[in-house]
Chains A and B, each alone.
Chain A
Amino acid sequence: MRWSSKLIGFGFLFVLGLILAFAPVDRAGHITPDTADLVNELQHRNYYISADDLAHSIIDKESGFVVVDVRGKEDFEKYHIPGSVNIPVTELLNNEYLREAAQNNTIILTSNGNTLASQAWLLLKQRGFKDVYILGGGMNYWVEAFGNPRKPTGAYTDDELFRYEFRKAAAPVMMGANIGATGTEAQKPKISKPVIRVRNNKKKQFDEGC
């Protein structure tokens, strides 16, 4: 290759760089993700955590996650997941505690079904929250699973039996905040703030380094 073509190449490189030097690359990097992309992400990737997995994590006193209940205050006071925090969906974006907790914790959203929690998921993702999941089936499924665990009938597998035993054993703890069940706590549902600790990266798909 002759010098002239090399110099043309270097000159082109220089111009590309010069444009970059005055271009707002950082500001462009802060745009919120497209809603369409987020909906796509929600549909195709698994952002749901099962009730049993969450119950296991609560019983094992694992750290690194915060359960955020996005229902209204009355619903929350009727019953809620032990250790969960009530932030109604309307107050989600102005909540200081949530922003702080999200820095080191996985946020797990729950509502009565999936709908409200999914909307909250989209809201948070658009605001740049990274590590947000949804409790699959929400509180309706939670109550069904732990409020009145059903013994598997017919030809059931060991896994099903184990799950039933687990749910039966876990039920008193998981439904503990039920009004009337415990006098003191029921009067004034205390928002217990989970300790913020460094999250364990269990959900990471694979190690991306060399």
Chain B
Amino acid sequence: MKEQKFWNPYLAGVGLGLTLLSAFVLMGRGLGASGALMRFDVWLLKVIAPGHTQANAYFSKYFESPLSNWLVFEVIGVMIGGFLSGALAGRLKVKTGKGPNISVKNRLILAFIGGSLIGFSARLARGCTSGLALTGGATLALGSWAFMFAVFAGAYAAAYFVRKQWI
């Protein structure tokens, strides 16, 4: 199947916005992603080192079955929705996304480093692009807007140093 074009960004934005609005109207809360990852992380750690995880003041806050949280169901939905959309558009393909001037190995190393920074900072800021920036942006939460501007500032500042990866 031939890969289809992405949809118009404004249309996708309205779609995302209406999704967020329906979460507000139905549940009184917004979307999220990193909270579910955190829960999964703690569940993994619990399997590996139960005593150590329980003793940790931060991990023990998430010490429940990984299926007990609203966000976990939401992220399972994200997987289904993303998969369906990708399948319908012929975009399911095993590959590594990168610019033309970097090797796959180096790209994966940078992906891991970037992921670590994101995981760390999402916990520090109490949220990520979906749970803090999008959700709080729509409810005009002060900290969310501060976070959003800081994200763009950090990303534009760092972009120059990793330009080989993308351009």
**Direct contact between A and B in the complex (CB less than 8 angstroms)?**
yes
Number of interface residues, chain B, beta carbon within 8 A = 19
Instruction: Return the contact of B10 from the options A6, A206, A207, A208 (Cβ within 8 A).
Output: A6
Q: Within residues 76 to 116 of chain B, which ones have a CB less than 8 A from any CB in chain A?
A: none
Interface size class of A (residues with CB under 8 A): under 10
Contact with A along B1-29 (1 / 0, CB 8 A): 00000001010000000000000000001
In the complex, what's the smallest C-beta–C-beta distance from A88 to chain B, in angstroms? 34
* Majority secondary structure, B binding face: helix
| Pair B8/A209 contact, Cβ less than 8 Å | no
State the CA gap A1–B7 with chains docked (Å).
Answer: 10
* Majority secondary structure, A binding face: loop
Asked if A9 CB lies within 8 Å of chain B CBs, one says yes
| Pair A210/B35 contact, Cβ less than 8 Å | yes
In the complex, what's the smallest C-beta–C-beta distance from A208 to chain B, in angstroms? 5
Chain B contacts for A9, CB-based, 8 A: 10
Chain B contacts for A206, CB-based, 8 A: 68-70
Contact with A along B106-140 (1 / 0, CB 8 A): 00000000000000001000111011100100000
State the CA gap A6–B11 with chains docked (Å).
Answer: 11
| Pair B131/A210 contact, Cβ less than 8 Å | yes
In the complex, what's the smallest C-beta–C-beta distance from A8 to chain B, in angstroms? 11
| Given known A-B contacts A206-B69, A209-B131, A210-B126, A1 and B8 have beta carbons under 8 A apart | yes
Interface residues of B (CB under 8 A from A): 8, 10, 29, 32-35, 68-71, 122, 126-128, 130-132, 135
Interface residues of A (CB under 8 A from B): 1, 6, 9, 206-210
